[in-house]
Structure 1
Amino acid sequence: MTPEGADEALVAAARRGSTEAFARLVERHQQPLRAFLRRACGDWAFADDLAQETFVAAWSRIGQLKSGASVRAWLCGIGYRKHLTALRSRRRDRAREASYEAERPQVGARFEDDRLALEAALAGLSPDQRACVALCLAGDFSHGEAAEALGLPLGTVKSHVTRGRARLLQALEDRDGR
């Protein structure tokens, strides 16, 4: 049987739900797909991740493969589109980070002193208090959301936030008074 004929038989079986047949397709086309993606993106680890994603997508789309079409070409097409999507995503991430950096206020000596004082005050809080302060004051969680996330009673979260806020304010006042 020709390689193409073997692929067609495996595709037909995979369409009927045979995971064994699909596993054989993966075995047959894994190395060529990885080699193509490694050349296309220049990053071996990333290419291997893309190959995995390609096979997951191929399993869910096996019914869309046209009869007689090249399985290898179909897989490379899926992989290449995944690569392009990842590139666009990386570009958006870089643009977002650049925008954030451009809009971020410049760190001055006063701001840096405040930040260090706050970090020292946070380090002095108990782990539960620090977590409550981090979620409610810095993370914009409600007291109820923080209680649920941390598995603590609502009243405990409220008292931790109140006491933690007071300690942080005291740390800033002490720094200003020096």
Structure 2
Amino acid sequence: MCVNDRPSPETAPAAEAGRLVRAARSGDREAFGRLVESHQRAVTRLAYRLLGDPDDADGAAQDTFIKAWATLGEFRHECPFGAWLARIAVNQCRDRLKRKKVVVAEGRLRTRMDGRGVSPLEMAVDSSPGPEARAIGREIGRKIAELIRVLPGMQREVFALRYYDDRSLAEIAALCRVSVGTVKTHLFRATQRIGRSMEALYGHRLPIP
């Protein structure tokens, strides 16, 4: 099962990507290089959202493409190439988290409100530009990062994919190779855990759905 590839200006059209994959599978390194160029930014961005460190993200992205080159024969064309890469990237990030205990760092947590993306941080503090509001925002941001660090592995991963990468529940399930119900369970537990901690600290929960 594969998630849908997300079109972007950087991603080669499906037909061209298919041609490049076929050429790369025949040993054409230049064709594979073009695939790397098309997807490198998206893969690195996903890795950063899972690892929270730019150097680790760059390393995970590099490992992703090395793994992709080595296992290109396993790729099936019914699955979008970008989705196949995303799955490899998630697995590479998991390995790094296990080895180094790297945790998700502070970032912009997304939710939906009135049809636009609004972070819980923006919703929790005064939107005025005064120094006091900015100081409160930084404090809450640091606390959120600390709470994410102590989430169990699957909860942290699901939470990051949902609120950092804005993935749907079905996409997360496909990437993590679990059921949508399992994703919902881990996401609920993560948001409840963070919500309770924030309520204890600030007297109210962040409005994370």
> Please, what TM-score do these two structures have when normalized by structure 2?
0.42
Using CA pairs under 8 Å that are at least 6 residues apart, name the structure with larger relative contact order, 1 or 2. Answer: 2
Larger Rg: 1
> Please, what TM-score do these two structures have when normalized by structure 1?
0.49
Q: 1 or 2, which has the higher helix percentage?
A: 1
